[in-house]
């Protein structure tokens, strides 16, 4: 089997592969928001902060305060977003939505996860029918870069590198694949020769899904595309 992933792991044994602060922990309680999980059956959601308030603060988890999330001073974090910020969205809890935010201009892959009032965000739909040419380009964000080039028969060639700057060394992940956009998505398993389905996930293959949203590239993976703490997940802008 052609392997897609080449990586460095300084840890000898990894029981649970953690995607930094972005990936939700397995024991996450209903009132906790530790990140957004990859879902094989549907693409990750994207939303934009749309409010008349100049700032909307993240809210604490239930593990911080049993009465959170809630719109009160006791649940309010110091971190906040401003109108126009894009977030990746996950589960809901009453009137609140779990989101993950990363500044597309931040040179480092620093994510902030937390609850926001659902009324403060509005869904942003992906481009309805992107052409192959719409995917082409050099895309970057704080945690890595992706190059998409034209290939044969409407397919594209995807190559990229992601990294995580650990305490002792840098963990990396690499993708190299050919795939054809379909249903507004560009998705592939391993190098593109394996099907993107449940069996691929069971085999531990690297799964990657991409969407074009506004002038950006939204990418998500299943945490099997690199070393410890490495992920391609993020919002990329064209270089």
Domains of the chain are 45-123 (2.30.30.40), 132-238 (no CATH)
Q: What is the mean pLDDT of residues 149-164?
A: 93
How confident is the model at residue 167, as a pLDDT?
A: 67
Task: Give CA–CA dist 89/239, Å, rounded.
Answer: 25
pLDDT value, residue 114: 96
pLDDT above 60 (res 113): yes
Rounded CA-CA distance 179/158 in Å is: 8
From the list 32, 25, 26, the residue with the least C-alpha distance to 63 is 32
pLDDT value, residue 4: 37
Strand 112-117: give its sheet, edge to edge.
76-81, 56-59, 112-117, 96-101, 86-93, 45-49, 121-123
Q: What angle do CA 34, 159, 15 make, to 5 degrees?
A: 35
pLDDT in tens, 61-90: 999 999 999 999 999 999 999 999 999 999
Confidence of residue 27 (pLDDT cuts 50, 70, 90): low
The alpha carbon torsion through 6, 11, 14, 19 (nearest 10 deg) reads -70
Give pLDDT, residue 14: 25
User: DSSP letters of 142-182?
Assistant: TTEEEEEEE-STT-EEEEEEEEEE-SSSEEEEEEEEEE--B
* Predicted confidence (pLDDT) per residue in 193-221, tens digit: 999 988 888 888 999 999 999 999 999 99
Mean pLDDT calculated for residue range 226-235: 88
Query: Among 81, 150, 75, which residue's Cα sits nearest to residue 112?
Result: 81
Provide the β-strand partners of residue 213. 216
The H-assigned helical ranges of 1-143 are 132-135
pLDDT value for 58: 98
Say how far residue 112 (Cα) sits from the centre of its chain.
12
């Amino acid at each position: 089997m052609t392997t897609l992933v080449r990586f460095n792991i300084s840890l000898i044994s990894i029981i649970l592969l953690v995607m930094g602060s972005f990936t939700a922990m397995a024991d996450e309680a209903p009132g906790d928001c530790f990140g957004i999980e990859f879902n094989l059956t549907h693409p990750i959601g994207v939303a934009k902060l749309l409010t008349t308030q100049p700032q909307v603060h993240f809210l604490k988890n239930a593990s911080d305060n049993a009465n959170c999330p809630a719109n009160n001073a006791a649940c309010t974090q110091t971190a906040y977003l401003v109108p126009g910020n894009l977030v990746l969205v996950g589960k809901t809890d009453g009137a609140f939505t779990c989101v993950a935010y990363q500044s597309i201009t931040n040179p480092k892959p620093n994510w902030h996860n937390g609850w926001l009032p659902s009324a403060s965000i509005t869904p942003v739909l992906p481009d309805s029918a992107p052409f192959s040419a719409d995917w082409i380009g050099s895309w970057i964000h704080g945690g890595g870069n992706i190059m998409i080039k034209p290939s044969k028969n409407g397919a594209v060639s995807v190559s990229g590198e992601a990294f995580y700057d650990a305490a002792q060394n840098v963990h990396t992940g690499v993708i190299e694949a050919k795939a054809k956009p379909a249903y507004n998505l560009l998705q592939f398993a391993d190098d593109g020769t394996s099907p993107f389905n449940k069996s691929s996930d069971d085999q531990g293959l690297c799964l990657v899904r991409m969407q074009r949203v506004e002038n950006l590239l939204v990418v998500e993976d299943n945490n099997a595309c690199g070393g410890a703490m490495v992920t391609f997940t993020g919002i990329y802008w064209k270089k």
